[in-house]
Amino acid sequence: MTVKTLDILVQRSTNPRIETLDQNNLQFGKVFSDHMFVADYKDGQWDNLKIMPYGSLEFDPANSMMHYGQSIFEGLKAFRAEDGRVLVFRPDMNAKRLNTSAERMCMAQLPEEIFLEGLQALLEIDKDWIPTTPGSSMYIRPFMFATDNFLGVRPSETYRFMIIASPSGSYYSKPVNVKIETTYSRAAMGGTGSAKAAGNYAAALYPAKLAQEEGFDQLIWTDAKEHKYIEEAGTMNVMFVIGDQLITSPLTSTILPGVTRDSVLTLAKSWGVDVVERAISVDEVIEAATKGTLKEAFGVGTAATIAHINSIGLEDDKYVLPAIESRELSNRIYNYMEDLKRGRIEDSFGWNMSI
């Protein structure tokens, strides 16, 4: 597979909507900037790279993505630093992970430079859409889907890659109440759980809806075989502070390798925290919550950032965790990561791409 050209055609919007942006009332993923990046894959190469006005797409009813689900995505964020720089957090990790997902879903590989240069071109043209109000950011959604119009079950031979950008507020506006799921599964060993495949999210909607009807905000998935071990939360990886250890599940074929997960583990290790990646059982979490040794629990994700877990539900029981203000490690991590991503402190890990 080769790249014909990295020349990106720019078609500017003739109807800019920037005046409609209300920075003080941003929700997550509801408004989109004026432009989008598009590239098409055909005959073994990526072509037709362009920035064009944000707008609807037209599909043939036989489009195979709609029938057989070859669709993957990424999520990352851009920020405007006080000195005016546009900073994007670890986009190289997302470009790589998109290709890992593409491999698992039998889709075309995307050269990382198309991902990164497309992203850069989009942010350059729509930089005024990057919000600066506290807690807000430009949430960026790169995605790739099959475009063959064919009903036979086989990998598509053509694909489209796109990037859209959404000035957004927080994904979770307050600490979350989670339920440990012991009936349904998000992913099984050997399945697609470690890929950022659209279908994984679809499969989670029904159990999540049942949990929301019981008053929970989110699920914590357990292993599909025995429902004994903690996995992740679907919108984020999960971490626990038990005693003085920071514990999270290791990366297996059922867990998404989160960019925030990697960043938090790297950061905590650099501070000398005892970080352990190992299978963590539901029993262990509940026992620690009962004994009072479960000091903190939190989700980590691009959209979720550091999401404090307020309480954990398991079957008919609910375990309320210590007050958020008392949670030293997750609060320290949250503050450091926010300062780093917003360019307020030195980027000692070299994580920010500056545009």
* 75 or 343: CB nearest ligand COI: 75
Residue 88: alpha-carbon gap to chain centroid: 14
Quote the least distance from Cβ 283 to ligand COI, whole Å: 28
* 79 or 289: CB nearest ligand COI: 79
Alpha helices in 144-197 (DSSP H): none
> Measured between alpha carbons, how far is 256 from 277 in angstroms, rounded to an integer?
14
Quote the least distance from Cβ 175 to ligand COI, whole Å: 17
With contacts defined by CB under 6 A, how many residues of the chain interact with ligand COI?
6
Q: Which of residues 296-315 bind ligand COI (CB under 6 A)?
A: 301-304
Q: Give the tokens for residue 351.
A: 């994580």
Alpha carbons within 13 A on the beta-carbon side of 51: 22
* 13 or 260: CB nearest ligand COI: 260
Residue 51 found at the interface with ligand COI (CB under 6 A): no
Q: Which amino acid is at 10?
A: V
Quote the least distance from Cβ 304 to ligand COI, whole Å: 6
Quote the least distance from Cβ 353 to ligand COI, whole Å: 17
* 64 or 352: CB nearest ligand COI: 352
Q: Which of residues 232-291 bind ligand COI (CB under 6 A)?
A: 235
**DSSP per-residue string spanning 114-180:** HHHHHHHHHHHHTGGGS--STT-EEEEEEEEEE--B--SSS--S-EEEEEEEEEE--S-SS-EEEEE
Quote the least distance from Cβ 75 to ligand COI, whole Å: 2
Give the end-to-end CA distance of the chain in Å, rounded to a whole number: 28
> Measured between alpha carbons, how far is 190 from 253 in angstroms, rounded to an integer?
6
Specify whether the CB–CB gap between 159 and 144 falls below 8 A.
yes
Contact range with ligand COI by CB under 6 A, out of 4-12, 31-39, 221-229, 295-303: 295-303
Map residues 70-109 to x or -, x wherever contact with ligand COI holds by CB under 6 A.
-----x----------------------------------
Q: Which residue is nearest to ligand COI (CB)?
A: 75
Quote the least distance from Cβ 229 to ligand COI, whole Å: 22
Q: Which amino acid is at 320?
A: V
> Measured between alpha carbons, how far is 274 from 317 in angstroms, rounded to an integer?
30
* 91 or 301: CB nearest ligand COI: 301
Quote the least distance from Cβ 76 to ligand COI, whole Å: 7
* 267 or 288: CB nearest ligand COI: 267
Quote the least distance from Cβ 61 to ligand COI, whole Å: 27
* 294 or 306: CB nearest ligand COI: 306
* 211 or 282: CB nearest ligand COI: 211
> Measured between alpha carbons, how far is 156 from 174 in angstroms, rounded to an integer?
41
* 29 or 53: CB nearest ligand COI: 29
Q: Give the tokens for residue 28.
A: 């997550």
Torsion region of 329: left, alpha or beta (phi above 0 gives left; psi -120 to 50 gives alpha): alpha
Torsion region of 82: left, alpha or beta (phi above 0 gives left; psi -120 to 50 gives alpha): alpha
> How distant, in Å, are the alpha carbons of 89, 161, 232 from that of 54?
23, 14, 33
Kindly report the CA angle at 328 between 324 and 329, in degrees rounded to 5?
A: 110
Binding site for ligand COI (CB under 6 A): 75, 235, 301-304
